[in-house]
Structure 1
Amino acid sequence: MSRVPLVARRLLMHEARALHSFGPWVLRRRHQVPEGALAVPYTGPQTAMMYGMIFVSVIETVGLALIIPWPVVHAITLVIDVYGVVLVLALHAACVVRPHVVGSDGSLRIRYGALFDLRIPAATIAAARVDRRYPDARLVRLGPDGVLDLAVGSQTTVTVELTEPVTFVRPLGRQGVAHTLRFHADDPREAVAALTRARREAAPDPSAAPQ
């Protein structure tokens, strides 16, 4: 396995995790959302696009089945097309069952399906605010200023400022360091309110300090 390039290994791992998401998706379960934590969905901007891609792929599969006269070529094309539809659906399922998570202690976990996963301890979060932006079309983008964008549908809605830089791993294995995070949440106000409330409750009470 060590002879397989890192990129290929990570792609296979992402694919396996995405396919494994079908079970929890059908059962309406969420992956690693502890009791008392807030699950923060982020699939809103991409849902219509995903189902649109699936519809187009199905139409293409049916069309090719009608026009390809050679049985072997027809069978190969059918397998490839059907598997492509399954992978698109699996990617969407992985995003649904792996939402962002705001922990009861004020920690934050931002994810994108099986492709991206970053945990931020509560003590590292300085501030959070609703902040709608439209970065470029890339899923993960690290700017020269140390701002990490995790965009869905080419948009982010929450900005989190950190007290110190955090290291993250890109989908294909490269590492990066960021001191500000921007990500999409379908309900950004709820996410920011949960982060703010948890941090406030976790902060020490000045009145309880010894005299």
Structure 2
Amino acid sequence: MTGPRPLRRVVRWSLAALLPGELALVVCVLAGVRIPPAARLAVELAVLAVLVATGTLLALDHRRHRRAGLGRRQALGAAVADTVPAAVRRLTAHEIHLSTSFLRWITRRGPHGVREGDVPVPYASGQAAVMFCFLFASVLETVVLALLVPWPVVHLITLVVGVWGVYFVIALHASCVVRPHVVGADGSLRLRYGALLDVRIPAGRVLAARVDRRFPGTRPGAVDADGVAELAVGSQTTVTVELTEPVDFTRPLGRRARAGAFRLYAEDPAATVAALRAHAGLDRA
């Protein structure tokens, strides 16, 4: 990566320091706390300076990538990748996908990414009980803190965090409902866990599929020593899919992984295996 390294370092550290400060300032204003005009002006000027520096850095990187032969959209994406850390980009994209999934869920627009001839494979019901417990705990915690905390600023902060926590639990479950696994009409397979994980297995890459109930204790997308990726829901999987050759995919926090088989959870494992065998032509093999 070339370019103004000192400016890039200043922008990254400044974003990490100033954005929480701006959020704290907004919370204090909403809580009715009097902020000295000089302090408010200093924070706003600092945020403006960081935004100007970020815009300058993006413009320089964009021009550099354009000179290297990239198109405008590709150059913009490369410039953002140079400036914004991968984890921040993924977390931002995850929040956006959570919001769009929540809107799709409440408007009943149907599953995302399912085309004509595809077979959706739902899995969200496997974690419904756990999500309900999380939701109940979040609501209870928000109410208790709202009643016990006497200080206005802390009261508002805990209320905002509590409401966001309730929304996050609902949106996470909604993303799992509207983003099911998909058996493609062409024999491809798309494995997902809400907006956190999206694995695409091309047509012709599926070797075998079978009903296989297991109870792993790993996180979604974890790959064991045998090259098998676990996509457990509610700490269980019900279907095992073996591939002709491994596929690469991105784990929830941005790490790359490679797996030659996948264990996933499906609400109806027998129907899932039957659909996969029919669309992938395994019965004719």
TM-score, L = length of structure 2: 0.68
Structure 1 residue 201, shift from structure 2 partner: 8.4
Residue 158 of structure 1 pairs with residue 253 of structure 2: no
Q: What SS does structure 2 have at the residue aligned with 1:24?
A: helix
Judging changes above 3 Å, is the alpha-carbon distance between structure 1 residues 137 and 115 closer, same or farther for their aligned structure 2 residues? same
User: Normalized per residue, which structure has more strand?
Assistant: 1
Structure 2 counterparts to residues 98-109 of structure 1, below 5 A: 98-109=179-190
**Contact 1:110–1:119, Cα closer than 8 Å, also in 2:** yes
**Contact 1:21–1:93, Cα closer than 8 Å, also in 2:** yes
Aligned to 2:95: 15
Structure 2 counterparts to residues 60-75 of structure 1, below 5 A: 60-75=141-156
Letter of the 2:105 counterpart: W
Larger radius of gyration: 2
Aligned to 1:34: 115
Structure 1 residue 56, shift from structure 2 partner: 1.3
Instruction: Give the aligned CA root-mean-square deviation in angstroms.
Output: 1.6
Q: What SS does structure 2 have at the residue aligned with 1:123?
A: coil
2:192 pairs, out of 96, 106, 111, with 111
User: Normalized per residue, which structure has more helix?
Assistant: 2
Residue 85 of structure 1 pairs with residue 193 of structure 2: no
Letter of the 2:227 counterpart: G
Q: What SS does structure 2 have at the residue aligned with 1:172?
A: coil
Partner Cα separation in structure 1 for residue 218 and residue 225 of structure 2 = 17
Aligned to 2:83: 3
Aligned to 1:208: none
Unaligned runs of 5+ in 2: 1-79
Residue 141 of structure 1 pairs with residue 222 of structure 2: yes
Letter of the 1:50 counterpart: M
Partner Cα separation in structure 1 for residue 283 and residue 217 of structure 2 = 36
Partner Cα separation in structure 2 for residue 106 and residue 22 of structure 1 = 29
1:180 pairs, out of 253, 258, 261, with 261
Unaligned runs of 5+ in 1: 205-211
Residue identity (%): 57
**Contact 2:105–2:174, Cα closer than 8 Å, also in 1:** yes
Structure 1 residue 200, shift from structure 2 partner: 2.8
Letter of the 1:164 counterpart: E
Partner Cα separation in structure 2 for residue 141 and residue 60 of structure 1 = 31
Aligned to 1:94: 175
1:55 pairs, out of 136, 145, 157, with 136
**Contact 2:98–2:175, Cα closer than 8 Å, also in 1:** yes
Partner Cα separation in structure 1 for residue 263 and residue 217 of structure 2 = 13
- Relative contact order (C-alpha < 8 Å, sep 6+): which is higher? 1
Q: What is the count of residue pairs matched by the alignment?
A: 204
Letter of the 1:121 counterpart: P
Q: What SS does structure 1 have at the residue aligned with 2:235?
A: coil
Q: Which moved more, 1:136-145 or 1:183-192?
A: 136-145
TM-score, L = length of structure 1: 0.91
